[in-house]
Amino acid sequence: MMSRFLRAFPLPVIAFLVCFPGCAEQKNSVSPEERLAAGWQNFRGGEFSLALRDFKGVGAVTAIDSPVHLAALYGEATTWYLRRPDEDPARSATLYRQVIQLAPTNSLAAWSWLALARIKAQPVEGNAPELEPLVLAYQEVIDRFPFHPAGEEALLLQQAARLEDPGTARAREVLEVLDAFLETHPESPWRSAAYGLVAHCCRMLGLEERRLEAAIQAWKMAEVDPTNPFQDLAVTYWQIATIAEFELGDFETAREYYRRLIDEYPAEQRVFVAIQELARMDELEARLRTEASTP
Amino acid sequence: MSKSIGSFLKKHSALIVVGATFLWSGLSILSSRRAETPSKDGVVLRIGHWQLEAGVRSGFNAMAEAYHKLHPNVTIIQDAVPEGTYGQWMSTQLMGGTAPDMLEAGKVPYNVLLGYYNRYFLPMTSVVNQPNPYNKGGSMEDVPWRKTYKDSMRSGYIEELQEYMQIPLSQFGVRVFYNKDLLKRLTGREIPPRDYREFLEVCRKIRSQASENGKPYVPVAGSGYHMWMWDGYMADPLTYGALRHLDFNRDASVGNDELYVGFKTGRINFGFPAFEAKYRMIRQLTEQFQSGFTGLGRDEAVFLFAQQQAVFISTGTWDVGSLHEQARGVFEVGIMEFPFPTPDDPEFGKFAEGPVYDKTFTGFAFVVTRTCKHPEVAIDFLRFVGSQKGNEELNRMIGWIPAIKDTQVAPMLEPFNPQLQGIFGCMPITLGGETIIKWTQLSSLYQVNQISYPQLTAEFLPFYLEHGEDEWAELYRNRRRGMVRDEQLIAGMRDMAGASPADASSTRWIKYRQLTTNRLINRDLNAAFLRNQLEAGGAGHVAVPYEFSPEVIAAVKARLDRGRPVELVAPGKERD
């Protein structure tokens, strides 16, 4: 009797254990959209395993052609790509390609193409990745989505990668590409970043006037995030002023931007240096005037 | 009977003591828990922090009491945990889901803290963008809360998350504290020394005298902990002049990679007068410390000061209350500026191009945990202590500086007014692991006068030049390795931007583009430019950053002559 009971005892326990999680699951059920959002929340919190569980869970209960399913696949791919440790770039690439295959013209396909390129941008043991495959991968995004934010971002990342090469020939090529981008993308929110790269090319090529012009354009086009206390233009003012002062001898422009820096960012570390530079320019001009007036 | 009780007590005395202690502690816990239990509709909030300095707990209690008067159903209780164990305590509480409702976030490595911000704390951006209701009727009634801060709440903003996450409550700074009575007794001075020469003279007088037990007085109570303050506020700023030689990317600071390039290309060496001056001053300063100071900790130096064996000690606003408390009834504590050399100082004057740049910082910052059952109440309490009146009152009681604009600062804290225009250090000599170890070992020997400056530099330079190459490369590899963390943030931000409602979407996309531009597109451009220049042709190809070239002088002259701009580089003519 007793032994029968003992043999039968595990059955209800097992039944309970099997049923209970199911009940709990049912009780706590959330919509796929909410679970997708929870997945990204977990991703941002560094809980990559939980994020994967959420993304896979959404994928399992949604129709393959639904936007949520696509978003879940994209989330899963991004997690496999960026999780540390236990990242799996190959698996990630397969999932991104699934997104692309399922909806080749969807916005997520554009971001997936960009992600495929970014996988190639990852350093190998801290060293820079091979340039040519990376440039080609960016080109895929640019060719397929030339006016999508992902395509525009790819172009800038591609040109920045190419600028790591020290040659002036490369800088000239990059400058041409950027000029074309600025001409064909008059409304792009990436124009400030593009002008920043133009200024860098001009620095490499010694085209100081164009460099100054590009730096000023980058400042004028810069988007402002009013909620970010760290986003200040002190560095931008400083760079414009120093290009004008030391590369062109354009002291009027230099003075204008040093003064902007002093007025708008009085607590900035550069203020003292800016005050000194204003005095140095005055001194140089005074000396030159004296020399000119001395026969 | 009484005999048997007596023998029972004697036999089991240890057990009885343990039992009685257990009973007492149980009853104490029960009664304190009972006192903390809110009434039926009451709210109890806990606030955890590591500030055991004098005045903080009583200050918080007083503010909690004042808040309770305004909101009788709310009780605030503090969990003050020692600094040494705070990080572990906070982590355990957070992971166990038992964390206080509000926490002072810190005492864990920054990358760990970043994970905590995401996982356990509530973002505050929407809160701090609204005016603080406790500022009603004042000059900042309609100003968003974050803008009522002296630093626009910079320290509350976590750039990696692009969110305001914590609410700072105090401003901090570092100065020299001194024993007024002892200074007068030993030197006859009512006022502290105002500049470096006076300071050295005062120190000489102090050193020449001994206490009643024959122990010589020490001018400065120092320790390994205190050294950075004297270096950072006195000696390092003397190296400011290196900026004009080494700021190759012209961002108005000298990076450790730029300094290395300077040494490697022969642009600069340890014989550079400003570098020599810095180390001469360090030697002169450390001669005023007690012997063996490098092996001592913060508490030992404070003890020496409290025992009236030393006249000066450097520390921050966080110690104001504690030092006053220790000195109460024994001696009076004064606060003074660091005695920096004046421009006419015969030895250091030419390096002291201005006062030392000193930007104070806000801290004592609190987050609201996700497990908080009444986050709206926790936020409201932080608004209360972060309002003009509340913040002024809290800091007045603690003896710290308010973080909010247009608030009264205690007269004794006036020397902490920041100096926002001035010079700063430009000698970040170490690059990575091995150079840091080598430099730390050698400079410690130098500080205690076991080796001279020529010995220090002769031993370090070949090591630096040889190992620096690898460490520089490793520096870049580490930058690249860190890229994945940035990509994680950017991917998370992209999702937020795409999923946000229309009004928030635009701002989120701006944040996304700024993160991408700064952390991916422009990530390696300057570094690559510097390295490429160095590899291309050595010193000759590295431009002198702050010199007027003959071409520039000619252009300025032409502008002055003709009053019109001059092209320096003809169109189409490029540098090869």
- The pLDDT assigned to B571 comes to 36
Q: How many residues does chain B have?
A: 576
Q: How far apart are CA B422 and CA B353, in angstroms?
A: 8
Among the residue ranges A35-49, A62-76, B288-302, B518-532, the one predicted with the least confidence is: B518-532
Whether residue B552 contacts residue A247, with contact meaning beta carbons closer than 8 Å, is answered with: yes
What the block records as the tokens of B538 is: 């050595």
Nearest by CB: A249 against B513, B546, B556: B556
Nearest by CB: A43 against B243, B492, B533: B492
**CB contact, 8 Å: B157 with chain A?**
yes
- The pLDDT assigned to B466 comes to 92
Q: Nearest residue on chain B to A84, judged by CA atoms?
A: B484
CB count in 10 Å sphere of residue A111: 26
Q: Nearest residue on chain A to B424, judged by CA atoms?
A: A269
Mean pLDDT of the B188-213 span: 95
Burial class (CB within 10 angstroms; exposed 0-12, middle 13-18, buried 19+) of A8: exposed
- The pLDDT assigned to B404 comes to 96
Res. A31: pLDDT tops 60: yes
Whether residue B352 contacts residue B340, with contact meaning beta carbons closer than 8 Å, is answered with: yes
Closest CA to B229 of B325, B127, B339: B339
Res. B158: pLDDT tops 70: yes
Whether residue A79 contacts residue A51, with contact meaning beta carbons closer than 8 Å, is answered with: yes
Q: How many CB pairs under 8 A join A and B?
A: 202
Q: pLDDT tens digits, residue range A188-230?
A: 999 999 999 999 999 999 999 999 999 999 999 999 887 787 7
Res. B574: pLDDT tops 50: no
Q: Which residues of A touch B158 (CB under 8 A)?
A: none
Whether residue B400 contacts residue B320, with contact meaning beta carbons closer than 8 Å, is answered with: yes
- The pLDDT assigned to A162 comes to 95
**Which residues between 483 and 502 in chain B have a beta carbon less than 8 angstroms from any beta carbon of chain A?**
483-484, 487-488, 491-492, 494-496, 498-499
- The pLDDT assigned to B222 comes to 95
Mean pLDDT of the B428-440 span: 92
What ipTM was predicted for this assembly?
0.89
Superfamily grouping for domain B177-336: Periplasmic binding protein-like II (3.40.190.10)
Mean pLDDT of the B372-398 span: 96
Closest CA to B381 of B137, B40, B43: B43
Please give the helix or strand (H or E) that residue B168 lies within, else none: strand B167-172
Mean pLDDT of the B116-139 span: 93
Per-residue pLDDT band for B298 (boundaries 50, 70, 90) equals confident
Per-residue pLDDT band for B328 (boundaries 50, 70, 90) equals very high
Q: Helix A168-184 and helix A149-162: axis angle, to 10°? A: 160
Q: How far apart are CA A164 and CA B533, in angstroms?
A: 12
Higher pLDDT, B524 or B428: B428
B362: DSSP letter: E
Q: Nearest residue on chain A to B532, judged by CA atoms?
A: A166
Q: How far apart are CA B388 and CA B405, in angstroms?
A: 7
B270: DSSP letter: T
Per-residue pLDDT band for A1 (boundaries 50, 70, 90) equals very low
- The pLDDT assigned to B39 comes to 59
- The pLDDT assigned to B531 comes to 78
Mean pLDDT of the B171-189 span: 96
Q: How far apart are CA B116 and CA B95, in angstroms?
A: 10
A123 to B481: CB separation less than 8 angstroms, yes or no:
yes
Higher pLDDT, A224 or A118: A118
Higher pLDDT, B15 or A272: A272
Mutant choice from A269, A270, A278, A283 vs B, greatest count of B C-beta within 10 A: A269
Q: Cα B358–B364–B368 angle (5° rounding)?
A: 140
Whether residue B565 contacts residue A212, with contact meaning beta carbons closer than 8 Å, is answered with: no
Q: pLDDT tens digits, residue range A33-47?
A: 999 999 998 998 888
Whether residue B542 contacts residue A173, with contact meaning beta carbons closer than 8 Å, is answered with: no
Per-residue pLDDT band for A21 (boundaries 50, 70, 90) equals very low
- The pLDDT assigned to B570 comes to 40
Among the residue ranges A237-246, B270-279, B408-417, the one predicted with the least confidence is: B408-417
Whether residue A65 contacts residue A102, with contact meaning beta carbons closer than 8 Å, is answered with: yes
- The pLDDT assigned to B202 comes to 98
Residue whose tokens read 């039992």 = B19
Res. B384: pLDDT tops 70: yes
B529 to A204: CB separation less than 8 angstroms, yes or no:
yes
Burial class (CB within 10 angstroms; exposed 0-12, middle 13-18, buried 19+) of B159: middle
Q: pLDDT tens digits, residue range A121-153?
A: 998 888 889 999 999 999 999 999 999 999 999
Per-residue pLDDT band for B572 (boundaries 50, 70, 90) equals very low
- The pLDDT assigned to B112 comes to 87
What the block records as the tokens of A117 is: 């390129």
Annotate chain A with DSSP letters as a single string: -HHHHHHHTHHHHHHHHHHHHHHHHHHT---HHHHHHHHHHHHHTT-HHHHHHHHHHHHHHS-TTSHHHHHHHHHHHHHHHH-SSS--HHHHHHHHHHHHHH-TTSHHHHHHHHHHHHHHHS-BTTBPPPHHHHHHHHHHHHHH-TTSHHHHHHHHHHHHHHTTS--HHHHHHHHHHHHHHHHH-TT-TTHHHHHHHHHHHHHHHT-HHHHHHHHHHHHHH----TT-TT--SHHHHHHHHHIIIIII--HHHHHHHHHHHHHH-TT-THHHHHHHHHHHHHHHHHHHHHHHH--
CB count in 10 Å sphere of residue B439: 17
Mutant choice from A225, A243, A263, A276 vs B, greatest count of B C-beta within 10 A: A225
- The pLDDT assigned to A26 comes to 43
Whether residue B80 contacts residue B56, with contact meaning beta carbons closer than 8 Å, is answered with: yes
Q: How far is CA B93 from CA B80, B87, B97, B106, B108, in A?
A: 14, 10, 6, 13, 13
Which CATH architecture does the domain made up of B42-173+361-416 adopt?
Answer: 3-Layer(aba) Sandwich (3.40)
What the block records as the tokens of A212 is: 């100054």
**CB contact, 8 Å: B405 with chain A?**
no
Nearest by CB: B560 against A157, A229, A289: A289
State how far residue B521 is from chain A, nearest Cα, in angstroms: 5
> How do the domains of chain B map onto residue ranges?
1-37, 42-173+361-416, 177-336, 482-576
Q: pLDDT tens digits, residue range A172-186?
A: 999 999 999 999 999
Listed ranges B16-30, B134-148, B541-555; the one with the highest mean pLDDT: B134-148
Domain B42-173+361-416 identical in fold to domain B177-336:
yes
Per-residue pLDDT band for A7 (boundaries 50, 70, 90) equals low
List phi, psi (to 5°) of B399. 95, 25
State how far residue B299 is from chain A, nearest Cα, in angstroms: 32
Q: Alpha-carbon dihedral of residues A252, A257, A262, A263, nearest 10 degrees?
A: 100
- The pLDDT assigned to B500 comes to 79
Whether residue A281 contacts residue A288, with contact meaning beta carbons closer than 8 Å, is answered with: no
Per-residue pLDDT band for B40 (boundaries 50, 70, 90) equals low
Determine what percent of chain A is predicted with pLDDT higher than 90.
76
- The residues with which B308 forms a beta bridge, in sequence order, are none
Mean pLDDT of the B563-571 span: 48
State how far residue A122 is from chain B, nearest Cα, in angstroms: 8
Q: Which residues of B touch A289 (CB under 8 A)?
A: 560
A284 to B529: CB separation less than 8 angstroms, yes or no:
no
Nearest by CB: B575 against A205, A229, A285: A205
Q: Nearest residue on chain B to A169, judged by CA atoms?
A: B576
- The pLDDT assigned to B539 comes to 45
- The pLDDT assigned to A23 comes to 47
- The pLDDT assigned to B526 comes to 83
Residue environment code for B362-387, b if the CB has 16+ CB neighbours within 10 A, otherwise e: bbbbbbbbeebeebebbbbbbbbbbb
What the block records as the tokens of A193 is: 């970043």
Among the residue ranges A66-75, A241-250, B545-554, the one predicted with the least confidence is: B545-554
- The residues with which B75 forms a beta bridge, in sequence order, are B44
- The residues with which A197 forms a beta bridge, in sequence order, are none
Closest CA to B261 of B540, B576, B480, B548: B540
What the block records as the tokens of A204 is: 């490499």
